[in-house]
Amino acid sequence: MGATTILRDVDVSVAPGEAVGLFGANGAGKTTLLRILATLLTPSAGDGTILGAPVTGSARYDVRPQISLIGHVPALYPELTLRENLQFAARIGGQTDQRVDEVLATVGLADAADRRGAACSYGMQRRAEFARELMRAPRLLLLDEPHTALDAAAVELVGHITAGVVKRGGAVVVVSHDRTRVAPMVDRTLEIAGGTVQ
């Protein structure tokens, strides 16, 4: 089977303290671009840097702990409680877990802290991911359709977390189909079509 080119001639720059919205049709390459920015995929051609590290070199692994990606599927261990999930994330990130209960309360999950991830609704799992990012304070936050299946209060959380990253001098890239909700969160928007950012 031959290879399929998903992205081509992509030239994207996101400055510290900036939030960028990325829009495009299904299959346009938005998620692939996010995964490259998250250092989870290596482009087959071209070059660039992520937080100063070459995107094709081994140094990208050094900056990976400073990058957070919230994707379509909540990244929680289903057998662990929400508190245990955040404690684990803190420890593997070299942080203490002293703020776990605080951030769970901030996102409205104080009463569900001891509930296993598998027993939580999709919306609760998303809130737990937001709590994790409040605790981790990433330099680069990547959000893939962050508003999906969220109630109004949780939608406000997305904006709160984005604003916090930007205020600290970090960068945010938001992929979405919901232009109305994303527009107030970002400084500018980009379109991706046919694998090319316009």
Residue 1: which pLDDT band, with cuts at 50, 70 and 90? very low
Q: Is the dihedral of CA 84, 77, 92, 15 positive or negative?
A: negative
Name the strand (E) or helix (H) holding 152.
helix 152-167
pLDDT tens digits along 98-129:
899 999 999 999 999 999 999 999 989 999 99
Tokens coding 185: 């969160």
Asked: is 18-197 a CATH 3.10.450.50 domain? The reply is: no
194 in Cβ contact with 28 (< 8 Å): yes
Kind of pairing, strands 67-70 and 188-193? unpaired
- Is 70 exceeded by the pLDDT of residue 2? no
Task: Kindly list the domain boundaries of the chain, sorted by start residue.
Answer: 18-197
What is the distance between the alpha carbons of residues 102 and 183, in angstroms, rounded to a whole number? 29
**Continuous segment of H or E residues that includes residue 102:** helix 100-106
Does 3 or 12 have the greater pLDDT score? Answer: 12
Q: Which two tokens stand for residue 176?
A: 């979405």
- Per residue in 179-196, pLDDT (tens digit) is 998 999 999 999 988 778
Q: How many CB atoms lie within 10 A of CB 137?
A: 16
Predicted confidence (pLDDT) per residue in 63-91, tens digit: 998 999 998 888 899 999 999 999 999 88
User: Does 5 score more than 80 pLDDT?
Assistant: no
H helices, E strands: number in the chain:
7, 8
* Rounded-to-integer distance, Cα 167 and Cα 182, Å: 17
- DSSP class of 97: S
* Residue-level length of the chain: 198
| 3-state SS assignment for residue 70 | strand
The yes-or-no verdict on residue 197 having pLDDT over 60 is yes
